Structure 1
């Protein structure tokens, strides 16, 4: 990556900063917060023929219509019209190329020498009976159907106000509400996605095995299906004991309850019992190999692939070297760069699993009469991203350079440690929900345009791609990676800073901005099955 710095016209004092990622690139992006005016001369002799906003691309050579536009050393599209050297290349100037064909990609061909293990790094976490480790100590209250969401939210507010102060070692009480459970094709093949997502959310390590379920009593998704089978002999909880403190399931239609007040009292009693158990948990020193980190980006811009995401990728490699686990996701922001990932599969089976998830999503979009051009968003384009190809090439660098050891379908629980591709849609809220179900205990989220996104179940470290964003959103951004673009820090500098921040946040020594402010988004299930 090269950063070009040139003085502007004599009246100007600000340096012109541009970034060219690869020597093969025929475009560069503008770093200056206010963009660059027409007439600015870059150090390679390029003169801007028009003003170019921050993050947007400038042509470094004359391009005829149909010529390849190259960024990251890869073709991101083709010139939709003749473009003179120094032209501003926005989304209208680039024609979307075809995605990589899935039937001819190399699988598990990249042989990388094993990086030295990273030893001696620890964090203070909550050890669970199943060997997983939590970074928070949270009581989760799950619903089996949307009908009981209002009651659950009401009760959670009362628990926080009346019960939680008695249990200082419990961080929070979280309502796991959703819009699933009834009015759906519960036995449709694709229904396994929302069902296993809810089942696996219940065993997220930050819940300490004490999640409780509130149902209605007539829904298609029987609440007992959401309870881990090891919690009861025979793997099933009899309906007749629902509502007693020893059962994690309570159904509001149980005839034992006379009125709303008795329902609430029963839920409070159940919560009190579980809060008492969670309050006995204590943090203990755990190796960094117990970290399960999700990485995600939202509100991306043209800097995502040169500052924040590469720094996250550097930290990803550190966590994997320490024996930990990192999940990267977002199928539509991987699909157009899949040819760079299949060679990194640890074996051909994992490579084929990557292709299977890409193909499934191609079919899913086609069935909805949509395609990959629906991504990026208007904000992404304002930030300089022309199309999903450019976005994907910048997105996948969050995965670092480690071999991909496993592939998870949406909502599947992790099976092994290391770098994992967890297939999810690119939607921030759906991706976050699915990564939680897969078992993350902390998430790292990069943003260029800015978002107050947060998860109540797990800490979210937000990393900005631009220095201007971190300064403007000083109380919403946890780490500024924009210093890479301005030359104040290297990718390695920010990567190590992020790695140490992860250990501090996982230990409870540092609180992320979203948690300080109580900014937490709702969980959103991915339901590709029919709604009846």
Structure 2
């Protein structure tokens, strides 16, 4: 339906959102966009059609002039853009990234937020003191060669064993395309190996680690076992295996021994401080930094106030806002760790003859995001306002409470895998364009940036943050609603849609080491 007739028929008032008094652009709120000639209450008149979520110039912007959103420069005009004009991608160039050698270090450390006491969830406490939100048997693999065999074993475990162990939520395979045909001792090989080691120790798996290996791979299976554990490997090439059936029986016997242990676990009341929550966004649009991500940020502050651990990530969607984050670092050491991860990724992209302009994606641009700077400024809204207490290199396990930056690529699947390795037991995922994303290893709460998406994907979206843009809810109200939903999902009282459908993405390792 043409935008003009839609606006006229419904009587929608034309609406735009401006985020800062210094901004010279605002985004169109109306579904389906607004036609040329639309007049706003302040007299601003559209010179051309502007799609929903896209920017309109609030003042004449000269060629070479700065385009401002979030109070920051998100682009440089390649041509004059008149007041009321559409600020679209071809009219902008990306400004330079903030230099890393002149950033403020821990200069504006936020004061501690007031404690938030009395909030609990029902979780599974582990021998090491960590707490899971699920009770899952995870079976690691040391090499891709065994993935097909494990798939067959998993089907039989689900059909034959799981019905006898009703307190176990499920069984998952930690499969991947690594382990052989790689430069196992290359310096960057530490990242995929550390990721696999850390994945097996996720609190949702109860500490019951087992590995299926082949026997001739470069990544020796025992490297994936916790220190001090001497058993837990099924090696398919072992001479005791006479045929495929024997291999399956070995896997199932070891799995059953661990299912017996996991089946004795019960949920118990735990303080919210025991939660480890990951924050991620994917399929982002111009509303991400207006609705969903600020709501995630408010919920993140509530979690931190309750003593929990919150991870935010995605280096390429932080890099252009790093000047806003290093001042929030709790110490200069933490600020330098942030810079270390930005510099590492700059060098990684340069080695591949790529740069940050490869992000945003075409879908992001369709949703109104013109440059990686604009996307980054919306992305970091997920981090809330707390002091940043620590920084994790890719695949490192978290050992601190509070707000933590976990360095990952922006890819949804790689980021999700690395956050699981770092120890998240629940993830909150915001989306504007929509994505059928889910994790088998931890529940995922999907938050929509727009009400239109929430209605259209009503059986995939768990929370509609688009109500912030329409004025039906505030960021504070939505943040509290999300906080309570996190506690319910962590306790097993609410089931996210991805779990309802069994809609899960494969794990994807980040492997910057050479493949031989």
- The reply to whether residue 179 of structure 1 matches residue 177 of structure 2 is yes
Cα distance in 2 for residues equivalent to 1:184 and 1:95:
39
- Which residue, 241, 244, 257 being the options, matches 1:260? 244
2:3 matched residue in structure 1: none
- The reply to whether residue 518 of structure 1 matches residue 502 of structure 2 is yes
Deviation at 1:429, TM superposition (A): 0.3
Render the CA deviation track for 1:322-362: whole Å, top value 9, x for unaligned: 00000000000000000000000000000000000000000
Question: Contact 2:142 / 2:179 at 8 angstroms: preserved in 1?
Answer: yes
Render the CA deviation track for 1:174-228: whole Å, top value 9, x for unaligned: 0110000000010011000000000000100000011210000000000000000
1:311 matched residue in structure 2: 295
1:326 matched residue in structure 2: 310
- Which residue, 35, 38, 53 being the options, matches 2:36? 38
- What's the secondary structure of 1:28's corresponding residue? strand
Deviation at 1:15, TM superposition (A): 1.1
- Which residue, 191, 194, 198 being the options, matches 1:193? 191
- What's the secondary structure of 1:504's corresponding residue? helix
1:149 matched residue in structure 2: 147
- The reply to whether residue 492 of structure 1 matches residue 490 of structure 2 is no
2:394 matched residue in structure 1: 410
Deviation at 1:495, TM superposition (A): 0.2
Deviation at 1:74, TM superposition (A): 0.3
Matching of residues 97-496 of structure 1 within 5 Å: 97-231=95-229, 237=230, 247-496=231-480
Cα distance in 1 for residues equivalent to 2:175 and 2:271:
33
Render the CA deviation track for 1:485-528: whole Å, top value 9, x for unaligned: 00000000100000000000000000100000000000000001
Cα distance in 2 for residues equivalent to 1:81 and 1:339:
28
Question: Contact 1:64 / 1:83 at 8 angstroms: preserved in 2?
Answer: yes
Task: Give every structure 1 segment of 4 or more consecutive aligned residues whose post-TM-superposition deviation is greater than 4 Å.
Answer: 8-12
- What's the secondary structure of 1:37's corresponding residue? coil
User: In 2 relative to 1, CA 9–175 (structure 1 residues): closer, same or farther, beyond 3 Å?
Assistant: closer
1:240 matched residue in structure 2: none
Render the CA deviation track for 1:364-390: whole Å, top value 9, x for unaligned: 000000000000000000000001000
Render the CA deviation track for 1:253-294: whole Å, top value 9, x for unaligned: 000010000000111111111111101000000000001000
1:5 matched residue in structure 2: none
Question: Contact 2:436 / 2:503 at 8 angstroms: preserved in 1?
Answer: yes
Question: Contact 2:109 / 2:329 at 8 angstroms: preserved in 1?
Answer: no
Deviation at 1:452, TM superposition (A): 0.8
Cα distance in 1 for residues equivalent to 2:42 and 2:271:
49
Deviation at 1:44, TM superposition (A): 2.1
Deviation at 1:12, TM superposition (A): 6.3
Question: Contact 1:144 / 1:222 at 8 angstroms: preserved in 2?
Answer: yes
Render the CA deviation track for 1:402-458: whole Å, top value 9, x for unaligned: 000000000001121110000000000000000000000000000000011000000
Deviation at 1:9, TM superposition (A): 8.6
Question: Contact 1:183 / 1:531 at 8 angstroms: preserved in 2?
Answer: yes
Cα distance in 2 for residues equivalent to 1:9 and 1:260:
65
- What's the secondary structure of 1:15's corresponding residue? coil
- Which residue, 94, 97, 108 being the options, matches 1:96? 94
RMSD after superposition: 1.2
Question: Contact 1:9 / 1:40 at 8 angstroms: preserved in 2?
Answer: no
Matching of residues 28-67 of structure 1 within 5 Å: 28-67=26-65
- The reply to whether residue 22 of structure 1 matches residue 5 of structure 2 is no
Question: Contact 2:112 / 2:387 at 8 angstroms: preserved in 1?
Answer: no
- What's the secondary structure of 1:405's corresponding residue? strand
Deviation at 1:10, TM superposition (A): 7.2
Deviation at 1:90, TM superposition (A): 1.3
Q: Which runs of 5+ in 2 are unaligned?
A: 1-5
Cα distance in 1 for residues equivalent to 2:248 and 2:82:
69
Question: Contact 1:293 / 1:440 at 8 angstroms: preserved in 2?
Answer: yes
Cα distance in 2 for residues equivalent to 1:456 and 1:12:
42
Deviation at 1:248, TM superposition (A): 1.1
Deviation at 1:297, TM superposition (A): 0.2
